Structure 1
């Protein structure tokens, strides 16, 4: 395993210690996102491990710059939910940020890839363990896709995500 990826996993596990992802330790979610991001390279896997660290811990952007460089730190900061009163407000602000990202920029490209992987991991988990969250992801999907999807960027992730949302919708109507 690469030293940078091992460092990202270690830092993520330490910083997220005690946090849960449903019934599981939080690192289970981070590992799922990393696995989905593997085809997109080492930097995507590093960002996958760190994607929630600014939002859910006391870790700073400066710490990420020191350990991983500016591209990784900026990518993680793009993925961090803005502060907001409620989910709808936070997501609206986040989606506006995503719409502005240029996938030709390394940090932006990594953020868009990892966000798609993160959403796919969340949809899969919610479909199995938290149907009410799955319904929420279904309702958000059109806005999420409009803000985050870029043609030619992680198409297989998007295909699987779209199919899960569509199949889940059909299952809900059955």
Structure 2
């Protein structure tokens, strides 16, 4: 295993200690996102481990820059929800930030990939365990897609995510 990835896993587990992802330790979610990000390289996997650290812990961007470098810190900051306000306003602000990202920048490209992997991991888990959250993700899908999707960037992630949303709509169970 890559030393930087091992450091990111260890760092994330320590910072998210005691937090839960539904019934599971939070690391289960981080590992799911990392697995989805694996085809996009080691930096995507590192960002996957760190993607929630700024919004869910007291970790600062400066700490991430010291430990993992400026590109990783910047990418994680791109995917982090703004502080304060309700979910709708935070997501709107985040989507406005994501819309403006230029995927020719490595930090932006990786942020868009990891944010898509994160959403896919959440949708998969919620379809199985939390139907109300699944409905929420389904209702947000069009706006999330408009902000995050870039043609050719991570098509297989988007194919699966779109199919999970579409199937949920068609079967009408959720």
Task: Please say whether Structure 1 and Structure 2 have the same fold, judged by a TM-score greater than 0.5.
Answer: yes
Indicate the residue corresponding to 1:71 in structure 2.
71
The whole-number CA distance in structure 2 between the counterparts of 1:84 and 1:60 is: 16
- Is residue 36 of structure 2 the alignment partner of residue 36 of structure 1? yes
Q: TM-score normalized by structure 2?
A: 0.98
Note the alpha carbon deviations across 1:109-158, whole angstroms, 9 max, x for none: 00000000000000000000000000001100000000000000000000
1:2-57 residue CA offsets vs partner (Å, 9 max, x unmatched): 00000000000000000000000000000000000000000000000000001100
Q: How does 1:93-108 map to 2 (within 5 A)?
A: 93-108=93-108
Aligned length: 174
* Alignment partners' CA distance in 1, 2:161 and 2:172: 16
| Cα distance in 2, alignment partners of residues 68 and 138 from structure 1 | 34
What secondary structure does 2:84 align onto? Answer: coil
**Gap runs ≥5 in structure 1:** none
CA distance in 1, matches of 2:80, 2:164: 24
Runs of 4+ in 1 over 3 A off after TM superposition: none
Q: SS state of the match for residue 103, structure 1?
A: coil
SS in 1 for 2:83: coil
Q: Which runs of 5+ in 2 are unaligned?
A: none
Q: Using the alignment, how far apart are the partners of 1:115 and 1:72 within structure 2?
A: 14
User: Which has the larger displacement, 113-122 or 164-173?
Assistant: 164-173
Cα deviation per residue 1:39-95 (whole Å; 9 max; x = unaligned)? Answer: 000000000000000110011111111111000000000011001320000000000
Summarize the Cα distance change of 1:28–1:173 in structure 2 as closer, same or farther, 3 Å threshold: closer
Q: Once superposed, what is the RMSD of the aligned Cα atoms?
A: 1.0
Instruction: Please report the TM-score for the alignment, with normalisation by the length of structure 1.
Output: 0.98
Alignment map for 1:4-83 (pairs within 5 Å): 4-83=4-83
Residue 172 of structure 2: SS of its match in structure 1? helix
CA deviation after TM superposition for structure 1 residue 172, in Å: 1.5
Between the aligned partners of 2:149 and 2:7, the Cα distance in structure 1 is 29
